[in-house]
Chains A and B, each alone.
Chain A
Amino acid sequence: MGDYQTHEYDVLVIGAGGAGLRAAIEAAAQGTTVGLVCKSLLGKAHTVMAEGGVAAALANVDDRDNWKVHFTDTLRGGQYLNNWRMAELHAKEAPDRVRELEAWGAMFDRTPDGRILQRNFGGHKYPRLAHVGDRTGLEMIRTLQDHGIHQGIEVHMEVTVTTLLKDGDRIAGAFAYDRERGRFRLFRARAIVLATGGIGRAFRITSNSWEYTGDGQSLAYHAGAALQDMEFVQFHPTGMVWPPSVRGILVTEGVRGEGGVLLNSKGERFMFQDIPENYRAQTADTPEEGWRYTQGDKNARRPPELLTRDHVARCIMREVREGRGSPHGGVFLDIAQIKEKLPKAAEHIKKKLPSMYHQFKQLADIDITTTPMEIGPTTHYVMGGVRVDGDTQMSTVSGLFAAGEVAAGLHGANRLGGNSLSDLLVFGRRAGEYAARFAKDHQPGRINSEEVEAAGREALAPFDRSGGESAYQVQHELQDMMQDLVGIVRVEKEMERAAEGLGALWQRAAKTTVVGNREYNPGWHTALDLKALLTVSEAIVRSALARKESRGGHFRDDFPAKDPAYQTFNCVVEKGLDGGMRLRKEPIPELRPDLKAIVDELK
């Protein structure tokens, strides 16, 4: 040890998806020096997978839309556990953030008069999602990437941060290794922005890539920051289920936005049978009305397929459990049936959903213009994450910021589709701005060399052990356990088994050994990722046990109803003085009167 390369920046951004890129661009614009670290190559982060669109009340398609409607939609979708200040800022600022992308070269689909086109999506009252076919994420990340590379940001690709370093109570730097050679890096920074995304790899069936191991949540937690709402994991209702190798890959909600319907094995549109009370007034009574809604009829209400993701996912689970599922354990998503209503339906589908067409054709031998898809829920997103201040995005650790999926608050108990891409733009920018301000107001912190040495020893420990099992083994068992015991439907007993299981997995993780050397060794990387995966899994289990009700992404079979008493707090976990995880119930501040008036008015 002792051998590492040192870099120094005013602001270090960890993660180069949409939030990280947007934060880095903003921090650079504020005149600070910026380093950007990412685990993969630039432009490959998970934002690239986003399909449906970015939600912003531009009101280009329906002029009844405005920030107030977007704000109330976000709170309703989040079942009122949201950080309402974030929901307010998000709804107000998203339109500017989207328009700004156009100034940087993004090309969204257009309305007939040449403005940005918007589409329908679950839980959004009006057509609100700016999009490019079904590959909006690619358009966004490429726009940010291609703009960002000219802003003087130093990018460190394929570098993984393992530990955050502090000077007393404030952040001082980060310790990392590069994948290529396994060399250590020390980043000194006055402020750090976490933009590392989510935790999907804690589950077996997920739409997330290998990168989604909860790094940012775990780094923040071990640095003393609070995590909140970790019980709220979003299971996206439509992932591929067949063939087995593609299980979990996302099928965009845009399919339903374009008129796709969900059917069980009896051919029933089962979503019509279970419409939650708080959405009844905005949901179509008949399939015919639902269809008109998808085609832009302003007098029609949305079809029940476009209810929030948590609800749709549970309805699908119910159909499967009660024996009305598809042959491979899902249900059917049928877009081909629009041919009864539209001329040239096949061309229309290929135009509106090109990558879905491609994906099914190539990976499942299915032509979605003629044949229904088999789909089922897949772990997609975590609403919870690092607890931050709504305006500045600073965590409970001074100088440590978080934006995008790694941060909690905006989405409450359930995220609306399209609110993630807008989240990362709005709060990526805010985190970058306030991190830059923090950097200007503070001198660099001192780096404690003992902490650095310890981080290096921890990273190399798997090489020093022998005879242990491989990290893949432990990772797979963790994924199976979380999927089976802490998945879409949760009960006390199973989660307690998971809590015990985690204890055993922590011990096994501490004994894993790796083969080979430090040069681009995924076995080693997987071993190091286990700490983060186990940390976030523990946070999920503890928070889920504490919430004895069902709300949003968190469904308890033993407490199937929503309980008003649980609407008043967020579950917050922190590292206790003894090193163990402590949970507290943090009261949600009362809604500001002007915002409350908006919510009441638009109920």
Chain B
Amino acid sequence: MTQARFQVWRGNSSGGKLVDYSTEISEGMVVLDAIHQIQATQANDLAVRWNCKAGKCGSCSAEINGQPRLMCMTRLNELDLGEPVTVEPMRAFPPVRDLVTDVSWNFRVKKQIKKFKPRPPDAPDGTWRMQQEDVDRVQEYRKCIECFLCQDVCHVLRDHQLHEEFVGPRYLVYTAALEMHPLDTEDRLSELRKAHGIGYCNITKCCTNVCPESIRITDNAIIPLKERVMDDAFDPLVKLIGLMTKKVAGP
């Protein structure tokens, strides 16, 4: 058994600091195990979110040695234990307590995105037909576990705090899943361009790099959506019709 040192951010909305802990580690341990061990033996009130402990629920997001990661999927043997391991809450969201942040903004944003609207069923029994390849394409987006690490790392949100103007990578992936769903008939392009601020993304791929589900957020979700938005907004034919209707309706 060896000891490892940790510096865990303790505090709340009025401030906080890194606190030193040391705990025994064993083979295969992940950061969340160490946090739980510290919680059970040294700091009973250490606040942390977690559920599945297997990378499936996306609850235990944190910044480990400055990197946005899931605590349950970060093995201690891949970290340099010669130095203390720092564990901090996600910085793009307001702190609640210790490692827990207020992520409620994400849930409000999701509600603003128009929901799935399927075409009429394909068969008399009310069912649809879809091909596996269509499913596979959309499943890449639907793999998302809503850990919000992509939101945490996105500089538009983290540095510029444009939460009111930009929905963030998670909700661009969500919109992509809806827009590319083979049965969906809703149109979300105008909101994407305006209220949801897709133009703010300058495709630095930070979100893609931190995604624990390896969703190619930028290449497969954001860029195709940007293309659709551009086609929609700057389609010359649409523009022409727009101009003509304006003329007719004009004073």
Q: Contacts A242-B28, A515-B45; is A520 near B55 (CB within 8 Å)? A: no
| A-B CB contact pairs (8 Å), 14 listed | A44-B52, A44-B59, A105-B184, A107-B130, A110-B130, A114-B131, A133-B139, A138-B145, A139-B142, A147-B116, A243-B28, A250-B54, A522-B39, A523-B44
The answer to whether the Cβ of A541 comes within 8 Å of any Cβ in the partner chain is: no
Pairwise interchain contact A40-B28, C-beta atoms closer than 8 A = no
Say whether A4 faces chain B, with CB atoms less than 8 Å apart.
Answer: no
Asked if B115 contacts A147 (CB within 8 A), the reply is yes
Chain B contact surface mostly: loop
Pairwise interchain contact A520-B47, C-beta atoms closer than 8 A: yes
Tell me which of B56, B100, B107, B126 contacts A138 (CB under 8 A): B56
Q: Which of B26, B100, B138, B142 has the most CB of A within 10 A?
A: B142
Q: Is the CB of A40 within 8 A of B59?
A: yes
Interface size class of B (residues with CB under 8 A): 35 or more
Please tell me if the beta carbons of B73 and A363 are within 8 angstroms of each other in the complex. Answer: yes
Once bound together, how far apart are the Cα atoms of A138 and B29, in whole Å?
25
Among A109, A147, A157, A359, point to the contact of B135 (Cβ < 8 A).
Answer: A109
Query: A519 in the interface, Cβ–Cβ < 8 Å?
Result: yes
Name the interface residues of A444-500: CB closer than 8 Å to any CB of B. 470-473, 476
A586 CB–B CB distance under 8 Å: no
CA gap between A138 and B39 in the complex, in Å: 29
Tell whether B103 is near chain A: CB-to-CB under 8 Å. Answer: yes
Q: Mark B229-248, 1 if CB is under 8 A from A, else 0.
A: 00000000000000000000
For the complex, is B58 an interface residue (Cβ under 8 Å from A)?
yes
User: A209-250: which residues lie under 8 A (CB-CB) from chain B?
Assistant: 209-211, 242-246, 249-250
CA distance A49 to B55 in the complex (A): 10
Chain B hits for A125, CB < 8 A: none
Q: Indicate which residue in B98, B115, B138 contacts A107 across the interface (CB closer than 8 Å).
A: B138
CB proximity of B76 to chain A, nearest CB, Å: 9
Is B110 interfacial (CB-CB < 8 Å)? Answer: yes
B172 CB, min distance to chain A CBs, angstroms: 15
Are A107 and B128 within 8 A (Cβ)?
Answer: no
For window 63-103 of B, CB contacts with A under 8 Å fall at 73, 75, 96-98, 100, 102-103
B72 to A, closest residue via Cβ: A363
User: Is there an interface contact between B57 and A103, defined as CB atoms closer than 8 Å?
Assistant: no
Q: Given B47, B58, B128, which contacts A102 in the complex, CB threshold below 8 Å?
A: B128
Q: Which of A99, A114, A519 has the most CB of B within 10 A?
A: A114
The interface size bin for chain A is 35 or more
Contact B26 A245 (CB under 8 A): yes
- Interface digits, A506-548 against B, CB 8 Å rule (1 contact, 0 not)? 0000000011110111111010000000000000000000000
CA A502 – CA B46 in complex, angstroms?
28
Residue positions of B touching A, CB distance < 8 A: 12, 26-30, 33, 39-41, 44-59, 73, 75, 96-98, 100, 102-104, 107, 110-111, 115-116, 118, 121, 126-132, 135, 138-139, 142-143, 145-146, 178, 181, 183-184
Considering the chains assembled together, what is the distance between the CA atoms of A45 and B135 in angstroms?
24
Q: Select the residue from B54, B58, B126, B128 with max chain A CB neighbours within 10 A.
A: B54
Instruction: Report the bound CA distance from A384 to B57 in whole Å.
Output: 26
Contact A107 B45 (CB under 8 A): no
Task: Report yes or no: A522 in contact with B47, Cβ–Cβ below 8 A.
Answer: yes
In the complex, which of the residues B96, B110, B178 contacts A180, with contact meaning CB atoms closer than 8 Å? B96
Residues of A within 8 A of B75 (CB): 362-363
A358 at interface by CB-CB < 8 Å: yes
Once the chains are docked, how many angstroms separate the CA of A521 from the CA of B57? 21
- Contact: B52 with A49, CB < 8 Å? yes
- Is A34 among interface residues, defined by CB-CB distance under 8 A? no
Interface centre among B28, B107, B184, by most A CB within 10 Å? B28
Tell me the chain A residues, 19-44 only, with Cβ under 8 Å from chain B: 40-44
Which residues of B have CB within 8 Å of A166?
none
Is A115 in the interface zone, CB < 8 Å from B? yes
Interface residues of A in 330-357 (CB under 8 A from B): 355
Bound-state Cα–Cα, A133 to B75, Å: 25
| Chain A-chain B contacts (Cβ-Cβ < 8 Å), number | 175
- A275 is an interface residue with CB less than 8 A from chain B: no
Partner pick for A524 among B40, B45, B48, B111, CB 8 A cutoff: B45
Given known contacts A49-B54, A107-B181, is B49 in contact with A41 (CB within 8 Å)? yes
Closest 6 CB pairs of A and B: A243-B28, A516-B45, A523-B44, A114-B129, A105-B116, A520-B97
A41-B103, A44-B58, A245-B30 given as contacts; is B40 within 8 A of A472 (CB)?
A: yes
Which residues of chain A are within 8 angstroms of B183 by Cβ–Cβ distance? 105
A204 at the interface (CB under 8 A from B): no
Q: Are A149 and B110 in contact (CB under 8 A)?
A: yes
| A362 pairs with B139, CB closer than 8 A | no
Residue of chain A at shortest CB distance from B59: A44
Which of B33, B44, B104 makes the CB contact (< 8 A) with A522?
A: B44
Complex contacts, B110 vs chain A, CB 8 Å: 146, 149
A519 touches B54 (CB 8 A): no
Contact yes or no, B142 A142, CB < 8 A: yes
Distance of A113 Cα from B102 Cα, bound (Å): 45
Is B28 within 8 A of A521, CB to CB? no
Would you give the shortest CB distance from B73 to chain A, in whole angstroms? 6
A266 interface residue (CB < 8 Å to B) = no
- A353–B233 alpha-carbon span in the complex (Å): 41
Minimum CB–CB distance from B35 to chain A (whole Å) comes to 10
On whether the beta carbons of B45 and A135 are closer than 8 Å, the reply is no
- Establish whether residues B49 and A244, one from each chain, have CB atoms under 8 Å apart when the complex forms: no
> Is A599 an interface residue when CB atoms closer than 8 A count as contact?
no
CB contacts (< 8 Å) of A139 on chain B: these are 142
Chain B positions within 8 Å of A471 at CB level: 44
- Shortest A135–chain B CB gap in Å is 7
Question: What's the Cα separation between A473 and B49 when bound, in Å?
Answer: 20
- A133–B139 Cα distance when bound, in Å, is 10
A592 is an interface residue with CB less than 8 A from chain B: no
Q: How far is the CB of B120 from chain A (nearest CB, A)?
A: 11
Residue A48, interface by CB 8 Å = yes
Residue of A nearest to B70 (CB): A362
Q: A43-B146, A135-B56 are in contact. Are A110 and B49 (CB under 8 A)?
A: no
B30 lies within 8 A of A210 (CB): no
Residues of chain A within 8 A (CB-CB) of B57 are: 43-44, 48-49, 209
The chain A residue with its CB closest to the CB of B106 is A41
Evaluate whether A149 and B44 lie within 8 angstroms (CB atoms) in the complex, with A109-B132, A210-B50 already known.
Answer: no
By the criterion CB–CB under 8 Å, are A249 and B45 in contact? no
Q: How far, in angstroms, from A522 to B102 measured CA to CA in the complex?
A: 16
Cβ–Cβ contact A362 & B55, under 8 A: yes
Closest to A364 in B: B28
User: Of A116, A209, A471, A476, which is in contact with the most chain B CB atoms at under 10 Å from its CB?
Assistant: A209
